[in-house]
């Protein structure tokens, strides 16, 4: 079924009026008589006239739309971020257009191009695990498009950024494992090029260094696509389990890696935490009912989305160029459950 809409030009031709008269009548201009306004509005309503949002945005200078780029919306953390973004954007009268990269650089470039062709007013983006070259974003930044980074950020573009306290999250999780009696702590994480990997690894390393524990190279496992494919996590876990000096605990650093590692350990029949303890960054709402209940580092995803959107709207609506930018660091929360129960002596 085709749904045809009419334009101001169509109304003007049908009523034998000028386009200017119809436009002013629809805007309730004092220059147009009440009789003409009534005639025009009645015809517009009867024939389902709707204002063209793109044409309006050109006149107003804003499309009232912002673009969002995330890895996947089925990730609990990102879905919470998106809810936070929408809560602020909709309140301010802005629409949001969401895209997913599925951890692909090529798809990130295509999505950003698609969004800018939709005449968005600004962009909220969390970089994909494959992204090394930022020219597609640097070009838009040079052209004046407001951009705010969240979660996975870059130092190569000077703008507002919102992150979790990844260092403290990694430190607190590792410190908790040490206090519970675990000393051979492995680390399954995302590729080293993304900011969250470096920051969480730094916290992990600091806690172990303070405890006087050296980290064997074979305890550090990077998943090239952030665990997008279960095979990446399976390979990392199998390599750890095949070591002569197997770890007695694992720290994982993303929703997908954490929950998949729990699944794989259970599938292999490995007792948690008796044989291997597990703690990870995850915002899953099922942590309490998993088998066993999962110790986690929780990130304030909803608040991150709110703050990032507030920052972006400030850039979009500012009447003067903005030259001072902020990196906002939100606190993480360590939640301990049965997967890291104290080690039996």
What pLDDT score does 214 carry? 94
Please count the CA atoms within 13 angstroms of the CA of 13 that sit on its side-chain side.
Answer: 5
The DSSP letter of residue 144 is: T
Does the global pTM surpass 0.85?
no
- CA angle centred on 298, ends 295 and 303, rounded to 5°: 165
Q: Residues 196, 166: contact at Cβ < 8 Å?
A: yes
What pLDDT score does 58 carry? 44
Q: Can you list the alpha helix ranges (DSSP code H) found in the chain?
A: 8-15, 19-26, 34-46, 53-60, 76-91, 105-117, 135-142, 166-179, 195-210, 230-241, 255-267, 301-317
Question: Which DSSP string do the residues of 196-248 spell out, in sequence order?
Answer: HHHHHHHHHHHHHHHTT----GGGEEE-TTTTSSHHHHHHHHHHHHTSTT--S
Please count the CA atoms within 13 angstroms of the CA of 144 that sit on its side-chain side.
Answer: 6
- CA angle centred on 73, ends 72 and 79, rounded to 5°: 130
Please count the CA atoms within 13 angstroms of the CA of 141 that sit on its side-chain side.
Answer: 19
Residue 189, helix vs strand vs coil: strand
Q: Residues 174, 213: contact at Cβ < 8 Å?
A: no
What pLDDT score does 345 carry? 57
- 166: nearest Cα among 149, 186, 152, 185: 152
Q: Residues 160, 311: contact at Cβ < 8 Å?
A: yes
Residue 24, helix vs strand vs coil: helix
The radius of gyration of the chain from alpha carbons, rounded to an integer in Å, stands at 26
Cα pseudo-dihedral 108, 130, 296, 342, rounded to 10: 170
What pLDDT score does 57 carry? 45
Looking at 3.90.1140.10, 3.40.50.2300, 3.40.50.970, 3.10.20.30, the CATH number of the domain 166-299+334-340 comes to: 3.40.50.2300
| Domain 166-299+334-340 in the same topology as domain 62-164+301-330 | yes
- 156: nearest Cα among 131, 129, 175: 131
Chain centre distance of CA 102: 12
What pLDDT score does 3 carry? 39
Q: CA 10, CA 56: separation in Å to the nearest integer?
A: 17
Which residues lie closer than 8 Å to 91 by C-beta, 6 or more apart?
none
Residue spans of the chain under pLDDT 70: 1-5, 48, 50-62, 345
- The fold of 62-164+301-330 is Rossmann fold (3.40.50)
What pLDDT score does 63 carry? 74
Which residues lie closer than 8 Å to 309 by C-beta, 6 or more apart?
66, 84, 85, 88, 89, 124, 148
Residue spans of the domains in the chain: they are: 8-51, 62-164+301-330, 166-299+334-340
Q: CA 102, CA 108: separation in Å to the nearest integer?
A: 9
Q: CA 280, CA 298: separation in Å to the nearest integer?
A: 9
Phi, psi for residue 127 in degrees, rounded to 5: -65, 150
């Amino acid at each position: 079924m085709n749904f045809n809409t009419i334009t101001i030009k169509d109304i003007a031709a049908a009523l034998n009026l000028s386009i200017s008269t119809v436009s002013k009548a629809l805007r309730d201009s004092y220059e147009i008589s009440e009789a003409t306004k009534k005639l025009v509005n009645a015809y517009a309503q009867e024939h389902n006239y709707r204002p063209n949002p793109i044409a309006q945005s050109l006149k107003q200078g804003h499309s009232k739309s912002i673009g969002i780029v995330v890895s996947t919306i089925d990730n609990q953390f990102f879905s919470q971020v998106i809810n936070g973004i929408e809560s602020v954007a909709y309140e301010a009268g802005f629409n949001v257009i969401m895209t997913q990269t599925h951890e692909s650089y090529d798809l990130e470039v295509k999505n950003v191009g698609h969004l800018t062709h939709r005449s968005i007013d600004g962009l909220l983006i969390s970089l994909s695990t494959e992204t090394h070259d930022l020219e597609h974003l640097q070009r838009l930044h040079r052209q004046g498009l407001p951009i705010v980074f969240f979660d996975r950020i870059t130092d190569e573009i000077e703008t507002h950024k919102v992150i979790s306290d990844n260092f403290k999250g990694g430190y607190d999780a590792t410190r908790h494992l040490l206090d519970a009696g675990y000393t051979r702590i492995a680390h399954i994480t995302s590729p080293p090029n993304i900011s969250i990997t470096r920051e969480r690894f730094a916290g992990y390393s600091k806690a172990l260094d303070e405890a006087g524990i050296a980290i064997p190279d074979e305890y550090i496992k990077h998943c090239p696509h952030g665990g997008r494919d279960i095979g990446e996590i399976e390979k990392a876990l199998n390599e750890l389990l095949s070591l002569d000096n197997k770890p007695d605990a694992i720290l994982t650093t993303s929703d997908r890696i954490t929950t998949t590692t729990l699944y794989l350990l259970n599938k292999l029949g490995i007792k948690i935490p008796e044989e291997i303890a597990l703690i990870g960054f995850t915002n899953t709402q099922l942590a309490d009912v998993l088998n066993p209940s999962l110790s986690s580092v929780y990130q304030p995803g909803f608040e991150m989305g709110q703050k990032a959107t507030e920052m972006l709207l400030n850039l979009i609506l500012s009447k003067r160029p903005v030259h001072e930018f902020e990196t906002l660091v939100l606190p993480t929360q360590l939640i301990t459950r049965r997967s890291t129960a104290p080690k039996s002596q």
